[in-house]
Each structure stands twice: as C-alpha cells, then as structure tokens.
A and B are shown apart, each in its own frame.
Chain A
C-alpha cells in the first residue's frame, strides 16, 4: 500500500509571506498527486494537481513541484492572504489504484 507523510502539521505565516507544505510517498508507481484545501466545516476542495510526466505546475499564487526520484511533492503558496487559512491535504493513489492515500493535513494560519 501507499504511505504518505505530510509536514509540517501546523504552519503559521504573516500575510504576504510564502508557505510551503511537503509530502513524501512510498509507491514509486504513483503517478497522480492532488492537493486539497479544507475550510472549517466544509469538504475538501481540489486546488491543484500534478501528474508524473511534469515536474511543476502553477496556478496563480499556487504551485506544486514533484520530484519522482526522491518521491516527494510540495505545495507552494506565494503572497499568502488570510483567506488562505485552512487545512491542506496532499494525496497519492498507489500505482494502479484509484483510491488516494491522504496525508494527515497541514493547518495553515495566515496572520493579517
């Protein structure tokens, strides 16, 4: 099975700073890596994903990087805003599977 480790568990930044959340995975056959944002009392919402045929993907202030050799991928948020405060989850389905294994989440707090 897949093992996904996510760090840090809590991240506190000042508005305007950058935030980086890292995940490692164990199954070298994994090829799809989504990131979800979960606000209090709501369901997880997909914010960005990356497939193993690319090393980086950007969407405005959000970017994801993937290092397949090292088996880790990271979420980068630039110019953070208070509304970015939420819990962020990484996920990775094992190769050949459709069921993602989720990290334990990172609580991001952006102080105005």
Chain B
C-alpha cells in the first residue's frame, strides 16, 4: 500500500508565477489535508477536502490560494502570483475518515526567487 505521494518534491518559481502542488492520498483514503511549514516552525493547517468538496479552508489565505480534490485524480494546491513569503514546505496528509489518524506525504518544498 503506497503512502501519500506528493509532487513535485522541489519547485522553484519566480515572483508572479503560479505554483501547482499535487497530492495523491493513500489508497482508500478520501480525506485530504494541506499544511504549510516554515523553517523552525510547526505545521499550520491550510485546508481540508473530501472528494469534490472543500470542508474547511479556514487556514488558507483568501487571495491567491486555492485547492481542489476532484472526483478523479490528485488533490491540487494552487498558488497564483507567488511572492517570496510563499517559500515554505507544503505537506499533504490523508485519512480514511475524519477524526482518524492523518498520514503525511514527503512534502513539496517551494522556493520563490
């Protein structure tokens, strides 16, 4: 049973470009969570999705950030017009049902030049 998969593992963008981060949950998991981690800090919740639905986006900035989890395919975290402050590690986690243990992917490290 493959774990949570994220790609790309590293992403470099120039200010103003778009970043697309992909997450494939563990097999059988229909709940996906996105977190952001800044150096020397813990994980900050961004958004929680189930298939085709955003359940909780309270941690996601209102502008430039969006997320989706389509019926088919991976979950996507999209950052438009990136700025240097978006540089961070972005982690995806999945669980089979809510209120269950979350399993994390290896992360995507975004660097904005």
Contact = CB atoms under 8 A, between A and B. Distances in A.
Interface in A18-58: 32, 34, 36, 42-46, 49
Contacts of B104: 36, 43-46
B18 interface: no
A7 to B, nearest CB: 13
B65 interface: no
Given A49-B101, A93-B99, A102 B43 contact: yes
Interface string A88-108: 010001000011111111000
Contacts of A93: 99
Contacts of A98: 31, 48, 95, 98-99
A35 B51 CA distance: 27
Interface residues of A, number: 20
Contacts of A36: 104
A46 B45 CA distance: 17
Interface string B86-105: 00000100010011011111
Contacts of B43: 44, 89, 102
B52 interface: no
B60 to A, nearest CB: 12
B106 interface: yes
Nearest to B59: A99
Given A34-B101, A93-B99, A99-B33, A43 B106 contact: yes
B25 interface: no
Contacts of B28: none
Nearest to A98: B98
A105 B102 CA distance: 17
Contacts of B91: 43-44
Given A46-B102, A98-B48, 11 more contacts: A34-B101, A42-B106, A43-B91, A43-B107, A45-B104, A49-B101, A89-B42, A89-B43, A99-B56, A101-B45, A105-B42
Interface of A: 6, 32, 34, 36, 42-46, 49, 89, 93, 98-105
- Give 9 nearest A-B pairs by CB, closest first: A43-B104, A102-B42, A98-B98, A102-B43, A43-B106, A104-B42, A44-B104, A98-B99, A43-B107
